[in-house]
Every structure is written in C-alpha cells, then in structure tokens.
Amino acid sequence: MADTSGSQKTEDCIFCKIVAGELPAEVVYKDDETVAFADINPAAPVHLLVIPRKHYTNVVEAAADDPALIGRMLAVLTRLAGEKGLLEDGFRIVCNTGTRGGQSVPHLHFHLLGGRSMAWPPG
C-alpha cells in the first residue's frame, strides 16, 4: 500500500499557517474546528478548500482519530455549495490522499469544485 503518512511537520505546514493567520488566504467560512478558503490556483469557477484546524496529514488519520469530524466537514462543504449556488447544477467534492491520490499538501483538505461540468474518470 502507498505511504500516505507524509513527513511534513505541523510547524512547516502551509495550511496550519493559514489556520494560525500566519499566511494570507481568502477565507470564506470558519468555525471552531474548520476553516474554508479559496484555492490559490482554482481549477473551476468555484474552488474552495475546507480544512480542519487540527493538523491531520490526510483523511486516513482523521477517520481513525475523529470520524465524526469528517461528517461535520461534509456538512460545511454542502452548506458552502448552497451559498455558492451550486445545488441545482451540481458540484464535486474531492479528497486527494497520498502520492497516488495526487495530494500535494499534507494537511487534510476537501476540495469543493463547481461552476462547470466535470469529467469522469478523473486523471
């Protein structure tokens, strides 16, 4: 199985820095356990990232430690999809995991993509 553990330390993590306010981001939503912000390199007209404030390398770690957090994150994602007017035409939620999953930032994040038609299967 591919190694999905990552190696970056929390203090070097760019998403932890966004949570701490040490790196700027276009934050669109926050609560006591999640932050949502615009992706710096949008792949669709709407492209938001929803992350937990707590550092988990990926969804595997988070599911093992706090599976209900993932449900609450999905509720945030669907709420944001509604606020962005995506419910009628549809949208995509993506959670790239590990090397083969195409994960480039080792802090759990869900992508919310919308505003255009999506292809399947993904590359």
For the chain, the C-alpha Rg in angstroms (whole number) is 14
Long-range CB contact pairs, 79-83, < 8 A, 24+ = 79/29, 80/28, 80/29, 80/36, 80/48, 80/50, 80/112, 81/112, 81/114
Q: Which of 20, 100, 102, 118 binds ligand 5GP (CB under 6 A)?
A: 102
Question: Using CB under 6 A, which of the segments 27-35, 81-89, 97-105, 113-121 binds ligand 5GP?
Answer: 97-105
104 binds ligand 5GP (CB under 6 A): yes
Residue 55 interacting partner from ligand 5GP, Zn ion, none (CB closer than 5 to 8 Å by kind): Zn ion
Question: Using CB under 6 A, which of the segments 1-9, 63-71, 85-93, 101-109 binds ligand 5GP?
Answer: 101-109
Which tokens belong to 27? Answer: 């934050």
The answer to whether 36 touches 84, Cβ cutoff 8 Å, is: no
Active site members: 109
Amino acid (1-letter code) at residue 30: K
Binding site for ligand 5GP (CB under 6 A): 14, 23, 25, 37-41, 49, 96, 102-105
